[in-house]
């Protein structure tokens, strides 16, 4: 097996690496380090988060620094403050036996004056977020004209966050003959364009397959009605007693609502999103790293730079639109040689998206039924039994108390004692699941087509019928109006007051649409949509009537809502 010494790493760095417990290089390090220490050429490395990328570029970067010159010689760009600090911290650890090398993290949300003072004192490596670095360049306090190496870490994520113009601006301030290293989990078109514009015949190193999921990650999904998503999330958490997970939501609002609900229901949960102050973000992430919080509900952007190796699960509370985002999410578990599980809780209409992700990452998702209360309670009980078996007993300290407790409980049989110990832990769980509703598992198997289709009128009536526990809502806008599912969701988010509305099945017709919401939300939804404006069309909405012909009614409702009546055709 190859060693770091055989890769050409110098003694000072070898000592630091040994202190950190690294014995042998990981695959990305084994491929990248000799390239960077060898011939001077640009490099594109595609590897998942958690595969050792920082050491892959960090060790050779430090080795190529001239400590006698106190000006910036290398630049690392990262998308977030957290990742910036993580990289700078790792480089500082690697360079502990290189006292003349200074590494400076430069990021927003911290005193710019202190960063300016550090720059003026002299540093050789700058690790920066694009926005703050642009600010410092504009103030004339940082010069990049002697930088010989630039690293773009998490390049795909930087472009997803809208930093393409900033990256272009920064690269225009470094010498033309610099070496450019681009590290990314995926290779979307925007990253390829950056490579084509600024790199000269780059060598490409791929650890694994482009866009594939991490090898140690198992991919599982539960397909349930919209109304049961949150209940499913709780059952997943209860079924895994040692869970330590990030739950990804699409929006800040979803993130806060799910976290608030989990906290209310007694879970050790917290929210991480862009509406939090930097102080709140730092506290939330510290609690999660220390495992005070076991479930972190987060948006994708906010979770960037949160470096945790021991996650048992990543939970997708709905699938992202971009497969690269799913790859980033799932790559946060199964790190450092450990195994992890990526779970998706989806609606039936997301099944096509799931299959597309499967095709791109080259992994098959396992379809699972939502755990039943009996299975959850059994799993929790056995977990407690395991903890009792493994607990460290301090005989010398506890023996003096055992005799008195044993005497007090002597009237109990072993069977009764076990029942009481378990009841102390599980009465709440037993009470909670005693009358728990059944969660409908939507079958993964496609329905077989019937030999004779139902009459069109019956199919239309089925379309006007809500799923169990839901209300069917009619609105007089459809595909002919340019009204699609995204428009509907956006309109509900902006017009309906109060808690967010979960939308179930959506049927888009040429002149109208039908969709499901929880029965409790139906009144708010109808009131909000009545009279609302969509591209100049006044909307009408009502709770759908199964016996009503909406194909014809939509035209009449549109006119009654203020549309101009159609002109009558003149008789010849």
Cα angle, residue 72 at apex, residues 66 and 76 outer, rounded to 5°: 105
Q: Token pair of 559, please?
A: 């006119």
Considering only CA atoms, which of 363, 322, 42 is closest in space to residue 208?
Answer: 363
Q: What residues in the chain have per-residue pLDDT under 70?
A: 1, 40, 48-51, 159-161, 186-191, 208-215, 304-305, 307, 335-337, 444-464, 552-572
Res 12: pLDDT: 93
Which DSSP category does 567 fall into?
A: P
Backbone torsions φ then ψ of 151, nearest 5 degrees: -115, 125
| DSSP result, 264-296 | HTT--EEEE-TTS-HHHHHHHHHHHHTTS-SEE
pLDDT for the residue numbered 525: 93
Give Cα 522 to chain centroid, integer Å. 30
CA distances from 97 to 58, 91, 118, 406, 415 (A): 14, 11, 20, 57, 61
Q: Which residues pair with 128 in a beta bridge?
A: 77, 106
Looking at residue 354, the DSSP 8-state letter turns out to be: H
Rounded distance, CA 368 to CA 240, Å? 14
CATH superfamily label, 217-373: P-loop containing nucleotide triphosphate hydrolases (3.40.50.300)
Report the pLDDT value the prediction gives residue 552, as an integer from 0 to 100. Answer: 65
Tokens of 446: 């496609």
Name the E strands within 357-476: 366-367, 470-475
CATH superfamily of the domain spanning 456-560: RRM (RNA recognition motif) domain (3.30.70.330)
80 touches 88 (CB < 8 A): no
User: How distant, in Å, are the alpha carbons of 245, 302, 365, 392 from that of 330?
Assistant: 11, 16, 12, 34
Rg (CA), the chain: 29
Domain spanning 11-206: CATH superfamily: P-loop containing nucleotide triphosphate hydrolases (3.40.50.300)
Per-residue pLDDT reduced to its tens digit, 284-339: 988 998 899 999 999 887 776 676 778 899 999 988 877 777 887 887 887 666 77
- Tokens for 287? 């609690």
How far apart CA 491 and CA 138 sit, in angstroms, is 41
Per-residue pLDDT of 175-185, as tens digits, reads 888 888 888 77
All CATH 3.40.50.300 domain ranges of the chain, comma separated, are 11-206, 217-373
- Tokens 């967010």 sit on residue: 500
Spatial contact of 106 and 132, defined as CB atoms under 8 Å apart: yes
List the structure tokens of 480: 């002919």
Question: Would you state the pLDDT for residue 558?
Answer: 43
The count of other CB atoms within 10 Å of the CB of residue 61 is 26
Which residue's structure tokens are 């050409």? 8
Query: Which H or E element spans position 542?
Result: strand 541-543
Q: What is the pLDDT of residue 25?
A: 86
Element containing residue 247 per DSSP (H, E) = strand 245-248
Per residue in 29-57, pLDDT (tens digit) is 888 898 888 876 788 887 765 567 888 89
What phi, psi does 563 have (nearest 5°)? -70, 150
Give the pLDDT score at 69: 92
The pLDDT, as a whole number, for residue 453 is 45
Helix ranges, 122-163 (H): 130-138, 155-160
> Hey, what's the torsion of the CAs at 113, 118, 123, 126, to 10 degrees?
-40
Phi-psi region of 337 (alpha: psi -120 to 50; beta: other; left: phi over 0): left
Predicted confidence at residue 28, as pLDDT, reads 83
pLDDT at 386: 76
Extract the runs of DSSP E, i.e. beta strands, from 117-213.
125-128, 149-152, 179-184, 203-206
What is the rounded distance in angstroms from the CA atom of residue 270 to the CA atom of residue 348?
28
CATH 3.30.70.330 residue window(s) in the chain: 456-560
């Amino acid at each position: 097996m190859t060693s770091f010494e055989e890769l050409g790493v110098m003694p000072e760095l070898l000592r630091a690496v040994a202190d950190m417990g690294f014995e042998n290089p990981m695959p990305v390090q084994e491929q990248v380090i000799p390239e960077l220490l060898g011939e001077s050429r640009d490099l594109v490395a595609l590897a998942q988060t958690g595969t050792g990328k920082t050491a892959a570029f960090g060790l050779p970067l430090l080795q190529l620094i001239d400590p006698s010159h106190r000006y910036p010689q290398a630049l690392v760009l990262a998308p977030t403050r957290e990742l910036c600090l993580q990289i700078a911290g790792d480089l500082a650890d690697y360079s502990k036996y290189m006292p003349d090398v200074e590494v400076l993290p430069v990021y927003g949300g911290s005193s710019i004056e202190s960063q300016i003072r550090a720059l003026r004192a002299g540093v050789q490596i700058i690790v920066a977020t694009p926005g703050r670095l642009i600010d410092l360049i504009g103030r004339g306090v940082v010069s990049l004209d002697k930088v010989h190496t630039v690293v773009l870490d998490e390049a795909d994520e930087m472009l997803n966050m809208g930093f393409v113009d900033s990256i272009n601006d920064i690269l225009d301030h470094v010498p033309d003959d610099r070496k450019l290293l681009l590290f990314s989990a995926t290779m979307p078109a925007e990253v390829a364009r950056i490579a084509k514009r600024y790199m000269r015949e780059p060598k490409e190193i791929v650890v694994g397959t482009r866009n594939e999921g991490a090898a140690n990650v198992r991919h599982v999904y539960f397909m349930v009605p919209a109304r049961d998503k949150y209940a499913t999330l709780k059952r997943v958490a209860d079924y895994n007693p040692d869970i330590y997970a990030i739950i990804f939501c699409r929006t800040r609002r979803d993130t806060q609502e799910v976290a608030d609900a989990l906290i209310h229901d007694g879970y050790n949960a917290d929210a991480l999103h862009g509406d939090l102050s930097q102080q709140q973000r730092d506290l939330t992430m510290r609690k999660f790293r220390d495992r005070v919080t076991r479930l972190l509900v987060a948006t994708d952007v906010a979770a960037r730079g949160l470096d945790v190796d021991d996650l048992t699960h990543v939970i997708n509370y709905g699938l992202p639109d971009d497969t690269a985002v799913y790859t980033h999410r799932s790559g946060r578990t199964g790190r450092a040689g450990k195994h992890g599980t990526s779970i998706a809780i989806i609606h039936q209409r997301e099944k096509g998206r799931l299959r597309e992700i499967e095709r791109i990452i080259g992994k098959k998702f396992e379809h699972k039924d939502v755990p039943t209360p009996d299975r959850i309670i059994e799993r929790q009980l056995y977990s407690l039994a395991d903890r009792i078996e493994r607990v460290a007993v301090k005989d010398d300290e506890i023996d003096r108390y055992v005799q008195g407790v044993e005497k007090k409980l002597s009237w109990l049989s072993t069977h009764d004692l076990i029942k009481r110990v378990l009841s102390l832990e599980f009465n709440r769980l037993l009470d909670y699941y005693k009358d728990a509703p059944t969660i409908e598992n939507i079958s993964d198997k496609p329905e077989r087509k019937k030999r004779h289709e139902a009459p069109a009128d019956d199919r239309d009536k089925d379309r006007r019928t809500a799923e169990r526990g839901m209300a069917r809502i009619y609105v007089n806008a459809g595909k002919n109006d340019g009204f699609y599912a995204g428009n509907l969701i956006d309109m509900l988010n902006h017009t309906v007051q109060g808690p967010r509305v979960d939308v179930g099945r959506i049927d888009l017709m040429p002149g109208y649409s039908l969709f499901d919401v929880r029965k409790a939300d139906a009144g708010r939804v109808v009131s909000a949509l009545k009279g609302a404006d969509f591209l100049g069309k006044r909307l009408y909405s009502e709770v759908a009537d199964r016996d009503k012909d909406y194909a014809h009614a939509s035209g009449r409702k549109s006119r009654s809502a203020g549309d101009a009546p159609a002109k009558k055709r003149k008789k010849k």
